[in-house]
Chain A
Amino acid sequence: MDMSESLSTRDGKKLTKPAFYAGLMIILSLLPLFISQGYMLHILTLTFIYIIAAVSLRTITISGQFPLAHAAFMGMGAYLSGMASKWLGWSPWLTIPLAALMTAGIGMLIGYPFARLRALYYAMVSLFFGIGVTQAIYAGGIWTGGYGGLIGISPLLPPTTSKVPYYYLSLGLAMVSIIALYRFEFCRIGTTLKAVAQSHLAASSVGINEAWYRILAMGVGCFFVGLAGAAYAHYNLVISGTSFNFMATLWLVMYVLIGGIGHFAGPIIGTFILILIPEFFRDLKTYSPFIYAGTLIIVVYLMPQGLAGLPQMVRSWFTEHRKDKRTVHAA
Chain B
Amino acid sequence: MEQLVPTLTNILVLSSMYILVALGFVLLFNVAGILNFAHGVIYMLGGYIGFAFSVVCGLNQWLALLLTVIVIASFGVFLERFCFRPFAGDFNRTVTICIAIIVILETGVNIIGGTKILTFPAFVEGILRIGHVSVSHERIVTFAIGAALLGIIIWFINRTKWGQQMQAISQDIEAAALQGINVHRISAFASALGCGLAAIAGCLMGAYIGLSPFMGDFMLVKVLIVAILAGVGSIGGVFFAGLVLGAIDAILPLFISGAASSAIAVAIVIVILLIRPQGLFGHEMEM
Q: Judge if A1 is at the interface, Cβ distance under 8 Å.
A: yes
Q: Judge if B66 is at the interface, Cβ distance under 8 Å.
A: no
Contact check: which of A139, A290, A300 meets B258 at CB < 8 Å? A139
Within 8 A of A (CB), among B246-287: 258-260, 262-263, 266-267, 269-270, 273-274, 277-279, 284-287
Contacts A125-B228, A125-B270 given; indicate if A119 touches B287 (C-beta within 8 A).
Answer: yes
Contacts A125-B273, A293-B103 given; indicate if A300 touches B266 (C-beta within 8 A).
Answer: no
In the bound complex, do residue B96 and residue A135 qualify as a contact, i.e. CB atoms below 8 Å apart?
no
In the bound complex, do residue A286 and residue B110 qualify as a contact, i.e. CB atoms below 8 Å apart?
yes
In the bound complex, do residue B104 and residue A135 qualify as a contact, i.e. CB atoms below 8 Å apart?
no
Q: Judge if A124 is at the interface, Cβ distance under 8 Å.
A: yes
A125 to B266, CA, bound (A): 10
A287 to B108, CA, bound (A): 9
For A2, what are the chain B residues with a Cβ–Cβ distance below 8 Å?
Answer: 90-92, 287
In the bound complex, do residue A132 and residue B267 qualify as a contact, i.e. CB atoms below 8 Å apart?
yes
In the bound complex, do residue B263 and residue A1 qualify as a contact, i.e. CB atoms below 8 Å apart?
no
In the bound complex, do residue B267 and residue A301 qualify as a contact, i.e. CB atoms below 8 Å apart?
no
Contacts A132-B270, A139-B259, A296-B100 given; indicate if A301 touches B86 (C-beta within 8 A).
Answer: yes
Contact check: which of A113, A247, A257 meets B95 at CB < 8 Å? A257
Contacts A1-B91, A116-B274, A290-B104 given; indicate if A139 touches B217 (C-beta within 8 A).
Answer: no
| Nearest-Cβ distance from residue A252 to partner chain B, whole angstroms | 11
Q: Judge if B244 is at the interface, Cβ distance under 8 Å.
A: no
User: How many cross-chain pairs have Cβ atoms below 8 Å apart between A and B?
Assistant: 124
Within 8 A of A (CB), among B19-38: 35, 37
A16 to B99, CA, bound (A): 36
In the bound complex, do residue A296 and residue B96 qualify as a contact, i.e. CB atoms below 8 Å apart?
yes
| Nearest-Cβ distance from residue B66 to partner chain A, whole angstroms | 30
A296 to B97, CA, bound (A): 7
In the bound complex, do residue B277 and residue A121 qualify as a contact, i.e. CB atoms below 8 Å apart?
yes
Q: Judge if A89 is at the interface, Cβ distance under 8 Å.
A: no
Contact check: which of A116, A131, A257 meets B92 at CB < 8 Å? A257
Q: Among A2, A138, A139, which residue has the most Cβ atoms of chain B within 10 A?
A: A139
Which residues in B have some Cβ–Cβ distance to A below 8 Å?
A: 35, 37, 86-87, 90-93, 95-97, 99-101, 103-104, 106-107, 110-111, 217, 221, 224-225, 228, 232, 258-260, 262-263, 266-267, 269-270, 273-274, 277-279, 284-287
26 A-B pairs with CB atoms under 8 Å apart are A120-B285, A120-B287, A124-B228, A128-B269, A128-B273, A131-B266, A135-B259, A135-B260, A135-B263, A135-B266, A136-B263, A138-B263, A147-B259, A246-B217, A250-B37, A250-B95, A258-B96, A286-B111, A289-B107, A290-B107, A293-B99, A296-B96, A296-B97, A296-B100, A297-B97, A300-B96
Which residues in A have some Cβ–Cβ distance to B below 8 Å?
A: 1-3, 113-114, 116-121, 124-125, 127-129, 131-132, 135-136, 138-139, 146-147, 246-247, 250, 253-254, 257-258, 261, 286-287, 289-290, 292-293, 296-297, 299-301, 304
